[in-house]
Protein backbone atom coordinates (compact mmCIF):
# COMPACT_ATOMS: atom_id res chain seq x y z
CA UNK A 1 0.00 0.00 0.00
CA UNK A 2 1.16 3.44 -0.84
CA UNK A 3 -0.26 6.71 0.41
CA UNK A 4 0.60 10.26 -0.52
CA UNK A 5 -0.51 12.36 2.43
CA UNK A 6 -0.92 16.11 2.23
CA UNK A 7 -1.75 18.39 5.12
CA UNK A 8 -4.35 20.75 3.71
CA UNK A 9 -6.28 23.81 4.82
CA UNK A 10 -9.08 22.60 2.52
CA UNK A 11 -9.66 20.04 -0.20
CA UNK A 12 -12.48 18.71 -2.34
CA UNK A 13 -13.08 16.18 -5.06
CA UNK A 14 -15.56 16.57 -7.91
CA UNK A 15 -17.10 14.04 -10.28
CA UNK A 16 -18.97 15.45 -13.28
CA UNK A 17 -18.78 18.96 -11.79
CA UNK A 18 -20.42 17.86 -8.50
CA UNK A 19 -18.54 17.92 -5.22
CA UNK A 20 -18.64 14.36 -3.86
CA UNK A 21 -16.31 14.90 -0.91
CA UNK A 22 -14.75 17.84 0.87
CA UNK A 23 -12.93 18.75 4.05
CA UNK A 24 -11.67 21.91 5.66
CA UNK A 25 -8.34 21.53 7.49
CA UNK A 26 -7.01 17.99 7.66
CA UNK A 27 -5.37 15.41 5.44
CA UNK A 28 -5.83 14.61 1.77
CA UNK A 29 -4.74 11.03 1.11
CA UNK A 30 -4.14 9.55 -2.31
CA UNK A 31 -4.32 5.79 -1.77
CA UNK A 32 -2.60 3.30 -4.07
CA UNK A 33 -3.21 -0.41 -3.67
CA UNK A 34 -0.71 -3.03 -4.81
CA UNK A 35 -1.80 -6.32 -6.33
CA UNK A 36 -0.35 -8.22 -3.36
CA UNK A 37 -1.90 -6.03 -0.64
CA UNK A 38 -4.23 -7.79 1.75
CA UNK A 39 -6.95 -6.50 4.07
CA UNK A 40 -4.75 -7.06 7.13
CA UNK A 41 -2.69 -4.01 6.13
CA UNK A 42 -5.66 -1.63 6.18
CA UNK A 43 -5.87 -1.05 9.96
CA UNK A 44 -2.09 -0.60 10.10
CA UNK A 45 -2.12 2.10 7.42
CA UNK A 46 -5.18 3.86 8.84
CA UNK A 47 -3.58 3.94 12.28
CA UNK A 48 -0.31 5.31 10.90
CA UNK A 49 -2.07 8.04 8.92
CA UNK A 50 -4.46 9.28 11.60
CA UNK A 51 -1.70 9.26 14.23
CA UNK A 52 0.96 10.85 12.02
CA UNK A 53 2.21 13.89 13.94
CA UNK A 54 2.36 16.52 11.19
CA UNK A 55 0.16 19.24 12.71
CA UNK A 56 1.85 21.99 14.71
CA UNK A 57 1.59 22.43 18.45
CA UNK A 58 1.67 25.84 20.16
CA UNK A 59 5.43 26.15 19.48
CA UNK A 60 4.99 25.28 15.79
CA UNK A 61 6.58 21.82 16.07
CA UNK A 62 5.04 18.78 14.39
CA UNK A 63 3.48 17.24 17.46
CA UNK A 64 -0.24 16.78 16.77
CA UNK A 65 -2.09 14.25 14.67
CA UNK A 66 -5.42 14.03 12.91
CA UNK A 67 -6.60 11.92 15.84
CA UNK A 68 -5.66 14.81 18.16
CA UNK A 69 -8.19 17.03 16.42
CA UNK A 70 -6.33 17.90 13.23
CA UNK A 71 -9.48 17.94 11.09
CA UNK A 72 -10.96 15.74 8.39
CA UNK A 73 -9.66 13.03 6.08
CA UNK A 74 -10.34 13.07 2.34
CA UNK A 75 -9.37 9.79 0.66
CA UNK A 76 -8.95 9.40 -3.09
CA UNK A 77 -8.17 6.05 -4.71
CA UNK A 78 -5.26 6.39 -7.14
CA UNK A 79 -3.93 3.33 -8.95
CA UNK A 80 -1.38 5.51 -10.75
CA UNK A 81 0.73 5.57 -7.57
CA UNK A 82 1.95 2.16 -8.74
CA UNK A 83 2.88 3.40 -12.20
CA UNK A 84 6.28 2.00 -13.19
CA UNK A 85 8.18 4.38 -15.47
CA UNK A 86 11.53 2.60 -15.56
CA UNK A 87 11.10 1.35 -19.14
CA UNK A 88 9.91 3.37 -22.08
CA UNK A 89 7.73 6.44 -21.90
CA UNK A 90 4.37 4.94 -21.00
CA UNK A 91 3.93 3.86 -17.37
CA UNK A 92 3.05 0.27 -16.63
CA UNK A 93 0.37 -0.27 -14.02
CA UNK A 94 0.76 -4.04 -13.69
CA UNK A 95 1.68 -3.75 -10.00
CA UNK A 96 -1.58 -1.99 -9.12
CA UNK A 97 -4.34 -4.13 -7.64
CA UNK A 98 -7.02 -5.13 -10.16
CA UNK A 99 -10.16 -2.97 -9.89
CA UNK A 100 -12.42 -5.44 -8.07
CA UNK A 101 -9.76 -6.17 -5.43
CA UNK A 102 -8.77 -2.51 -5.12
CA UNK A 103 -12.40 -1.44 -4.65
CA UNK A 104 -12.86 -3.86 -1.74
CA UNK A 105 -9.64 -2.67 -0.08
CA UNK A 106 -10.51 1.01 -0.65
CA UNK A 107 -13.95 0.54 0.90
CA UNK A 108 -12.41 -1.32 3.84
CA UNK A 109 -9.97 1.57 4.31
CA UNK A 110 -12.87 4.05 4.43
CA UNK A 111 -14.82 1.88 6.90
CA UNK A 112 -11.80 1.47 9.14
CA UNK A 113 -11.03 5.20 9.12
CA UNK A 114 -14.68 6.09 9.80
CA UNK A 115 -14.57 3.81 12.84
CA UNK A 116 -11.90 6.05 14.39
CA UNK A 117 -14.32 8.90 14.96
CA UNK A 118 -12.88 11.41 12.51
CA UNK A 119 -14.64 13.19 9.65
CA UNK A 120 -14.25 11.11 6.47
CA UNK A 121 -14.84 12.20 2.88
CA UNK A 122 -13.98 10.27 -0.26
CA UNK A 123 -13.72 10.31 -4.00
CA UNK A 124 -15.62 7.89 -6.24
CA UNK A 125 -13.76 4.69 -7.07
CA UNK A 126 -12.81 4.42 -10.78
CA UNK A 127 -14.39 7.77 -11.64
CA UNK A 128 -12.65 10.60 -13.42
CA UNK A 129 -12.16 13.07 -10.59
CA UNK A 130 -11.01 16.64 -10.19
CA UNK A 131 -9.21 17.14 -6.90
CA UNK A 132 -8.60 20.63 -5.55
CA UNK A 133 -6.55 21.32 -2.46
CA UNK A 134 -4.58 23.93 -0.61
CA UNK A 135 -1.47 22.25 0.76
CA UNK A 136 -0.74 23.68 4.21
CA UNK A 137 2.96 24.13 4.83
CA UNK A 138 3.46 22.64 2.29
CA UNK A 139 3.54 19.27 4.01
CA UNK A 140 3.51 16.13 1.85
CA UNK A 141 4.49 12.67 3.09
CA UNK A 142 4.81 9.46 1.07
CA UNK A 143 4.06 6.35 3.11
CA UNK A 144 4.67 2.80 1.88
CA UNK A 145 3.68 -0.36 3.68
CA UNK A 146 5.47 -3.53 2.59
CA UNK A 147 3.51 -5.66 0.15
CA UNK A 148 3.34 -9.31 1.05
CA UNK A 149 5.22 -11.31 -1.54
CA UNK A 150 6.50 -8.24 -3.34
CA UNK A 151 9.95 -6.70 -3.50
CA UNK A 152 9.96 -3.65 -1.25
pLDDT digits (tens, 9 = 90+) for 49-68: 999 999 999 999 999 999 99
Residue 152: inside a domain, yes or no? Answer: no
CA distance 132 to 6: 12
Residue 27: inside a domain, yes or no? Answer: yes
Quote the domain boundaries for residue 136: 2-144
Residue 130: inside a domain, yes or no? Answer: yes
Residues belonging to the active site = 78-80
Contact 93, 35 (CB under 8 A): no
Residue 132: inside a domain, yes or no? Answer: yes
Point out the residues of the chain with pLDDT beneath 50. Answer: 149-152
Residue 116: inside a domain, yes or no? Answer: yes
Q: What is the per-residue pLDDT for 43?
A: 97
**DSSP annotation of 84:** B
Q: Is 22 exposed, middle or buried (0-12, 13-18, 19+ CB in 10 A)?
A: middle
Residue 73: inside a domain, yes or no? Answer: yes
- What is the model's pTM? 0.93
What's the domain count of the chain?
Answer: 1
Q: What is the per-residue pLDDT for 146?
A: 83
CATH assignment of the domain containing 45: 3.50.80.10
Q: Is the peptide bond before 138 cis (omega within 30 degrees of 0)?
A: yes
Q: What is the per-residue pLDDT for 148?
A: 55
Amino acid sequence: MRAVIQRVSRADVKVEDKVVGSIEAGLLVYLGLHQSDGPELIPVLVDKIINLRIFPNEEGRFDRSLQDGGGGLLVVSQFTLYGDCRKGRRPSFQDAAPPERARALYEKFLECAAGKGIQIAAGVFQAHMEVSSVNDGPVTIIMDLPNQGADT
